[in-house]
A and B are shown apart, each in its own frame.
Chain A
Amino acid sequence: MNDVSSAPHRPAAGARLLARLACSALLAFGAVQAQTAGPDLRERLAACAACHGERGEGVAGSTYYPHLAGKPAGYLIEQLQAFRDGRRHYWQMVWLTQYMDDAYIAEIAAYYAAQPPHTQAADVGAPALPAAVRERAEQLVHHGDAQAGLPACVACHGATLTGLEPAVPALVGLPQDYIVSQIGSWRDGTRRSKAPDCMAKIAAALSPADIRIVAQYLSHQSPGAHDEPAAAGSLMPPLACGDLPHAQVTP
């Protein structure tokens, strides 16, 4: 009996597009593993839990470590591979990923992706932002700055900033220092994504003052009920990023 022909629905156009992505085979493998191996895998990932929490929900009081729970698996795979292959240089992560093969990486990514999203504001209880900071941040996050060549954050990360399947991460629920550090790393080349590296271009176009303002604003946001990443294909990002689909923009 052929599994594909017996499936009740033919894959939709979006799903077929997804299937063409290089990581999709790994995703599928990882998802199957994650379903069968929740508690078992959690026990194996004690090293991850130390900084990211048992289910990737983050650790209370942490001012740096990002949460992993509910982030798109494609994004998590790319990050683990980036630590292993020299595109990210946080040495504790390199230490733990450097002898890890793609199959295990995919399984770990699927495990955290399957956890309930954690997108609570990171800086809960922080004093409200001054009006000028808030205005500038909202301009950049929701509308971008065409003059500086900056698209809006929401154009790729979703209207609620909770990410976009299969590989764009949430921007809410992250500590301010983590966001500043990542954008800084893109600027000096110590964090790289697969070419074309859209975030490197954005980081280069952001002024240092704007980086701090955006990070401050993002770390205060809480998405409320809509904390799942946007569905694949529901949004067409304006920039080419790695091998992800994007709108054809004439320069």
Chain B
Amino acid sequence: MIRRIALWSALITLPLLLLGAAAGGVLLLRQGGLAPYRVPSGGAITTAGDAAEGAYLARIGNCLTCHTVRGGTAFAGGRPFRTDYGTLYSTNLTPDPKTGLGDWSAEAFRHAMRHGVSRHGVLYPAFPYANFAHLTDADLDALFAYLRTLPPVEARPPPNDLRWPASWRGALVGWRMLHYRPAPLPPAPADAPPEWLRGRYLVDGLGHCAMCHGTRGAQGSLPAEGYLAGGRIPGQGWYAPPLDARQLARYDVDQLADYLVTGNGEHGAAYGSMAEVVYTSLRHLRADDARAMATYLKSVPAHGGEARPDTGRFLYAAAQPVANPHNGGRLYQDHCASCHGDGGEGRGRDYPPLRGAVSVTAPDPVNAVRLVLYGGMPPTTDGNPRPHSMPPFAGRLSNAEIAAIVTHIRRNWGEQDRPVSAADVAAYYGIRGD
């Protein structure tokens, strides 16, 4: 009897086990097989890379921003990143042997950048290795050569504060099997000009634009179909618009290149996360690289065909719109029109038009609400050394009044009919500190 049960159990479970193993094998292959986990050991520490070019690439790749805590030593790490799974801290990139990259080989650096695995284990995907995988050997060696010129700083980031299973690096192998699909850049059109190719290399590689401008899938993943399709930036409290031919139709290539470098333009100034990217990175772009990025970005096919993206219903606090006793049009006249114009047309480069602005047209109202709540000061750049600021209204207007204004401008100049409620404003209230 017992033998018969054992036989039948084996007959049922064995195929299941085999099936599971086969599926696991396939998933493992699709995230790059076992090669990513073979971290090179030994090898030369020094590299023949061009450190001066590396300094530029580190700027453009924005290594500095993520790997420096506010007011701390450059590249010594420790900046917190809040995710749905807890808080991560960036690592020390200075050549300190104990706490930094002091005894890393050029080969180990290339491997970590391309595969997201180092001697410390699998790296969290807040590190954009999916983008850095596209970098050439020469650029990776230049970056490494530059990092080796930094003064070594002994600084250990605080331990990550993540919930299980995210706290266990081994779980990242499972995440990669489910969500990570490394692939070289698709073949370029035969007639693609060098400028387009360079632009794509910067946007998809070092620039890692998709980390903010991609639509996230399950568990913080960046599926291919969400490529530059826009969405809420994890942990930042801002919405990043899609980057494609339709979204960027307002700009010609020169205007867009100018916006990237100056953080300002006819259609408004950079704010939120983009202000940081401009201030710490893009303002250092060489003119030809800025043009290349603009050229490529404007060529990205419009997402969702001709239909407007409708993700709005996921991004409001209240399931049902609530009646608002305030007159948004009158409040707009009292508080906003003197700068933004009666018809939301703006005034010059210093008072941006609201008509067609991302904050007004986006399915997600978070940018509009937070700009009205806390105002803004665009990044100072050579092209915009003395920016005009926008005053904060938190504390001066009630949540319901702010909701009425945002609803008014989005209805009239953004074709976004869904009203923003006082509950939405309350949900976006508060500035998240470091």
Tell me the smallest distance from the CB of A244 to a CB of chain B, in Å: 20
Tell me the smallest distance from the CB of A183 to a CB of chain B, in Å: 21
Q: Evaluate whether A104 and B70 lie within 8 angstroms (CB atoms) in the complex, with A49-B391, A99-B275, A99-B276 already known.
A: no
Would you list which residues of chain A between 92 and 145 have a CB under 8 Å from chain B?
92, 94-101, 103-104, 107
Query: Is residue A89 within 8 Å, beta carbon to beta carbon, of the partner chain?
Result: yes
Q: Evaluate whether A44 and B380 lie within 8 angstroms (CB atoms) in the complex, with A85-B70, A86-B71 already known.
A: no
Chain B residues within 8 Å of chain A by Cβ, number: 31
The interface residues of chain A lying within 8 Å CB-to-CB of B379 are 99-100
A89 B433 Cβ-Cβ under 8 A: yes
Query: Is residue B374 within 8 Å, beta carbon to beta carbon, of the partner chain?
Result: yes
B391 A46 Cβ-Cβ under 8 A: yes
The interface residues of chain B lying within 8 Å CB-to-CB of A97 are 377
Question: Closest A-chain residue to B387, C-beta based?
Answer: A44
B431 A100 Cβ-Cβ under 8 A: no
Query: Is residue B151 within 8 Å, beta carbon to beta carbon, of the partner chain?
Result: no
In whole angstroms, how far apart are the Cα atoms of A47 and B376 in the complex? 7
In whole angstroms, how far apart are the Cα atoms of A97 and B387 in the complex? 11
A50 B396 Cβ-Cβ under 8 A: yes
Given B69, B376, B380, which contacts A103 in the complex, CB threshold below 8 Å? Answer: B380
In whole angstroms, how far apart are the Cα atoms of A94 and B390 in the complex? 15
Q: Evaluate whether A96 and B389 lie within 8 angstroms (CB atoms) in the complex, with A47-B376, A50-B396, A87-B71 already known.
A: yes
The interface residues of chain B lying within 8 Å CB-to-CB of A41 are 386
Would you list which residues of chain B between 85 and 138 have a CB under 8 Å from chain A?
none
The interface residues of chain B lying within 8 Å CB-to-CB of A51 are 392
Tell me the smallest distance from the CB of B390 to a CB of chain A, in Å: 6
In whole angstroms, how far apart are the Cα atoms of A94 and B376 in the complex? 11
Would you list which residues of chain A between 56 and 98 have a CB under 8 Å from chain B?
84-87, 89, 91-92, 94-98
A92 B392 Cβ-Cβ under 8 A: yes
A92 B431 Cβ-Cβ under 8 A: yes
In whole angstroms, how far apart are the Cα atoms of A107 and B386 in the complex? 9
The interface residues of chain A lying within 8 Å CB-to-CB of B71 are 84-87
Q: Is the interface of B mostly helix, strand, loop or mixed?
A: loop
Q: Evaluate whether A47 and B385 lie within 8 angstroms (CB atoms) in the complex, with A97-B377, A99-B275, A100-B380 already known.
A: no
Chain A residues within 8 Å of chain B by Cβ, number: 29
Query: Is residue A43 within 8 Å, beta carbon to beta carbon, of the partner chain?
Result: yes
Given A46, A87, A89, A91, which contacts B389 in the complex, CB threshold below 8 Å? Answer: A46
In whole angstroms, how far apart are the Cα atoms of A45 and B279 in the complex? 19
Question: Closest B-chain residue to A87, C-beta based?
Answer: B71
The interface residues of chain B lying within 8 Å CB-to-CB of A85 are 70-71
Digit string of B383-416 for contact with A (CB within 8 Å is 1, else 0)?
0011111111110100000000000000000000
Query: Is residue A48 within 8 Å, beta carbon to beta carbon, of the partner chain?
Result: yes
B375 A96 Cβ-Cβ under 8 A: yes
Q: Evaluate whether A92 and B69 lie within 8 angstroms (CB atoms) in the complex, with A41-B386, A101-B380 already known.
A: no
In whole angstroms, how far apart are the Cα atoms of A44 and B269 in the complex? 13
In whole angstroms, how far apart are the Cα atoms of A119 and B386 in the complex? 29
In whole angstroms, how far apart are the Cα atoms of A97 and B389 in the complex? 11
Tell me the smallest distance from the CB of B261 to a CB of chain A, in Å: 14
Question: Closest A-chain residue to B393, C-beta based?
Answer: A50
Q: Evaluate whether A86 and B385 lie within 8 angstroms (CB atoms) in the complex, with A47-B377, A99-B279 already known.
A: no
Tell me the smallest distance from the CB of B386 to a CB of chain A, in Å: 6
Digit string of A21-62 for contact with B (CB within 8 Å is 1, else 0)?
000000000000000010001011111111100000000000
The interface residues of chain A lying within 8 Å CB-to-CB of B393 are 50
The interface residues of chain B lying within 8 Å CB-to-CB of A99 are 275-276, 278-279, 377-380
Other contacts beyond A46-B339, A95-B374, A99-B379: 9, CB < 8 A = A37-B386, A50-B375, A85-B71, A86-B70, A87-B71, A95-B375, A99-B279, A101-B385, A107-B386
For the complex of A and B, the 9 pairs showing the least CB-CB separation, nearest first, are: A86-B71, A47-B389, A85-B71, A99-B379, A86-B70, A99-B279, A91-B431, A50-B391, A101-B380
Q: Give me the interface of B with A, judged by CB distance under 8 Å.
A: 69-72, 275-276, 278-279, 339, 350, 374-380, 385-394, 396, 431, 433-434
